[in-house]
């Protein structure tokens, strides 16, 4: 029996799609999904509020520490458990989870490597190292966490590069090299925020949220200016923080005001609450496309250095537009693959788009018309005759 659906609260596709043709129809939300969302949104707000401000009175008493463990421990454990659990489920299932249609296809090598990386990175780098190895090295008890101020130099805010040498080397050394060779695959293979987006994005609800909620088209491109503002803010704040530390700029109050703005507006409201609570409404990569300063930096670097990363379309394209609908970043992939359903054999990289190299568009394409291309290779000219068009059933 088909699942009963409630009226859709997702914005009409054409409002977001902005003229981009999306072939998969919105099936609406089930009552179960609506009930989940009603609980999910306030839960995310409460969760991040406690995580961000764990101590009300600055001691274990009257704080949100439970059994001696910090909110950060519980947050990290739930988050990593979710990401690792879904990644492991995908690996064991071994299916192409982007493919449409009833006939299952095996998971490709790229996706297998990606989900293996997500699983290991999330488990080791974002859970075992901070919650087990770190405290052991520091000689701390694993049973009780010391009260600590909230962490403020997450690498995605870029400003952290001005606060510690290690983060500086990471942001201005390791990341640019990785971008040159691998594009923004860091966002789909490594980053903790991206790990959640990638794993939620292959669940049945997550796919629906990506397909029908992700903003696309010219409006989405215009909104990217917000991300540029975030990057400029992060760099300005980082430089002022650095100069203040060197006593070359003596305005601690300015630095403090910028720090508070970043903490509240960028980290809490945008990165944490909107970035996660908006999954059911705007897809899984709102923060990644419109907020994350590191992503904007990577995109600029990749475009300027003509990085070796690109997605290429071939003459097998039949103009189905599934690739556009599958893209969690809201990139109109099909616009590079065909014009009026005639293959264009075009390609795109970081100079043209904020692509994170997740491979979703490649996996969903039923005609194998897309692939990650080798270094700076340009496609041959498009064929003279148009390929026949095919309709896609919802
Ligand atoms: S865009 Fe930023 S937050 Fe998102 S995955 Fe990339 S680095 Fe992480
Ligand atoms: S690349 Fe594949 S999914 Fe995209 S428009 Fe062409 S045939 Fe459709
Ligand atoms: S264009 Fe393709 S590979 Fe790039 S982010 Fe979109 S779906 Fe992923």
Q: Phi and psi at residue 95, in whole multiples of 5°?
A: -120, 155
- Report yes or no: 123 and 135 within 8 Å, Cβ to Cβ: no
Q: Nearest C-alpha to atom 2 of ligand 2 is from which residue?
A: 365
pLDDT score for 19: 66
Q: Please state, in angstroms and rounded to a whole number, the distance separating the CA atoms of residues 119 and 111.
A: 12
Residue 148 CB neighbour total at 10 angstroms: 10
Taking each helix axis as running N to C, give the angle between helix 293-304 and helix 175-182, from 0 to 180 degrees, rounded to the nearest 10: 60
Q: Higher model confidence: residue 259 or residue 68?
A: 259
Is the CB of 357 within 6 Å of ligand 3? yes
Q: 11-20, 241-250, 274-283, 286-295: lowest mean pLDDT where?
A: 11-20
pLDDT score for 292: 95
pLDDT score for 382: 42
Indicate which ligand has the atom closest to the C-alpha of 297.
Answer: 1
**Res. 275: pLDDT tops 60:** yes
Ligand 2 nearest-atom number relative to CA 321? 5
Does residue 67 come out as left (phi exceeding 0), alpha (psi in the -120 to 50 range) or beta?
Answer: left
Ligand 3 nearest-atom number relative to CA 358? 8
Mention every residue, 6+ apart, whose C-beta is less than 8 A from residue 151.
Answer: 72
Q: Please state, in angstroms and rounded to a whole number, the distance separating the CA atoms of residues 337 and 333.
A: 7
Ligand 1 nearest-atom number relative to CA 195? 5
Ligand 3 pocket test target in 184, 358, 365 with most atoms within 8 Å of CB: 358
E strands along the chain, which residues?
Answer: 5-6, 29-30, 311-313, 338-339, 342-343, 347-348, 370-372
Place of tokens 């997500």: 118
**Res. 387: pLDDT tops 60:** no
- Summarised one tens digit per residue, pLDDT across range 34-64 is 999 999 999 998 888 887 776 665 555 556 7
Task: Look up the pTM and report it.
Answer: 0.86
Confidence of residue 376 (pLDDT cuts 50, 70, 90): low
H or E stretch covering 276: helix 275-277
Q: Please state, in angstroms and rounded to a whole number, the distance separating the CA atoms of residues 146 and 70.
A: 8
- In terms of residues, how long is the chain? 394
Mention every residue, 6+ apart, whose C-beta is less than 8 A from residue 101.
Answer: 366
Confidence of residue 377 (pLDDT cuts 50, 70, 90): low
Is the CB of 191 within 6 Å of ligand 1? yes
**Res. 7: pLDDT tops 50:** no
Indicate which ligand has the atom closest to the C-alpha of 298.
Answer: 1
Mention every residue, 6+ apart, whose C-beta is less than 8 A from residue 329.
Answer: 214, 285, 288, 289, 353, 354, 355, 356, 358
Taking each helix axis as running N to C, give the angle between helix 204-213 and helix 192-200, from 0 to 180 degrees, rounded to the nearest 10: 100
Q: Nearest C-alpha to atom 6 of ligand 1 is from which residue?
A: 187
Confidence of residue 254 (pLDDT cuts 50, 70, 90): confident
Task: Give the CA-trace dihedral at 200, 33, 96, 389, to 10 degrees.
Answer: -120
Q: Higher model confidence: residue 190 or residue 150?
A: 190
Within a 13 Å sphere around the CA of 294, how many CA atoms are in the beta-carbon half?
Answer: 31
On average, the pLDDT of the chain sits at 85
Indicate which ligand has the atom closest to the C-alpha of 367.
Answer: 2
3-state helix, strand, coil in the chain (%, to 5): 55, 5, 40
Ligand 2 pocket test target in 367, 387, 392 with most atoms within 8 Å of CB: 367
Q: What percent of the chain has pLDDT over 70?
A: 85
pLDDT score for 2: 44
Is the CB of 24 within 6 Å of ligand 2? no
Q: Higher model confidence: residue 310 or residue 18?
A: 310
Check residue 157 and report its DSSP letter: G
- Report yes or no: 293 and 248 within 8 Å, Cβ to Cβ: no
pLDDT score for 53: 75
Q: Give the residue-averaged pLDDT of 11-19.
A: 47
């Amino acid at each position: 029996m088909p699942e009963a659906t409630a009226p859709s609260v997702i914005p009409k596709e054409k409002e977001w799609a902005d003229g981009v043709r999306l072939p998969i129809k919105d099936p609406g939300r089930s009552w179960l999904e609506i009930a989940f969302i009603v609980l999910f949104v306030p839960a995310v707000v409460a969760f991040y509020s406690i995580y961000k401000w764990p101590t009300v009175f600055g001691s274990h008493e009257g704080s949100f520490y439970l059994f001696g463990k910090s909110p950060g421990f519980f947050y990290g454990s739930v988050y990593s458990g979710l990401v690792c659990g879904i990644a492991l489920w995908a690996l064991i299932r071994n299916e192409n989870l982007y493919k449409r249609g009833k006939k299952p296809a095996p998971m490709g090598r790229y996706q297998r490597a990606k989900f293996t990386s997500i699983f290991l990175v999330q488990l080791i780098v974002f859970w075992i190292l901070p919650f087990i190895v770190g405290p052991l090295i520091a000689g701390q008890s694993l049973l009780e966490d010391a009260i600590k101020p909230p962490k403020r130099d997450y690498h995605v805010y870029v400003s952290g590069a001005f606060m510690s040498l290690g983060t500086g080397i990471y942001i201005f050394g390791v990341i640019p090299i990785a971008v040159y060779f691998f594009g923004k695959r860091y966002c789909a293979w490594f980053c903790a925020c991206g790990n959640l987006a990638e794993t939620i994005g292959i669940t049945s609800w997550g796919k629906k949220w990506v397909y029908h909620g992700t903003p696309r088209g010219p409006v989405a491109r215009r909104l990217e200016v917000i991300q540029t503002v975030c990057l400029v803010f992060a760099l300005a704040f980082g430089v002022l923080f650095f100069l203040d530390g060197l006593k070359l700029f003596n305005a601690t109050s300015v630095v403090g005001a910028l720090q508070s703005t970043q903490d509240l507006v960028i980290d809490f409201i945008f990165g944490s609450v909107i970035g996660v609570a908006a999954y059911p409404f705007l897809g899984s990569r709102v923060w990644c496309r419109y907020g994350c300063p590191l992503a904007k930096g990577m995109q600029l670097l990749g475009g300027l250095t003509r990085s070796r990363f690109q997605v290429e379309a071939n003459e097998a394209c039949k103009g189905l537009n599934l690739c556009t609908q599958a893209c969690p970043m809201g990139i109109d992939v099909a616009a590079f693959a065909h014009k009026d359903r005639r293959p264009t054999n075009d390609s795109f990289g970081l100079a043209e788009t904020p692509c994170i190299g997740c491979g979703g568009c490649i996996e969903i394409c039923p005609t194998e018309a897309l692939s990650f291309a080798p270094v700076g290779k340009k496609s041959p000219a498009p064929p003279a005759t148009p390929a026949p068009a095919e309709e896609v059933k919802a």
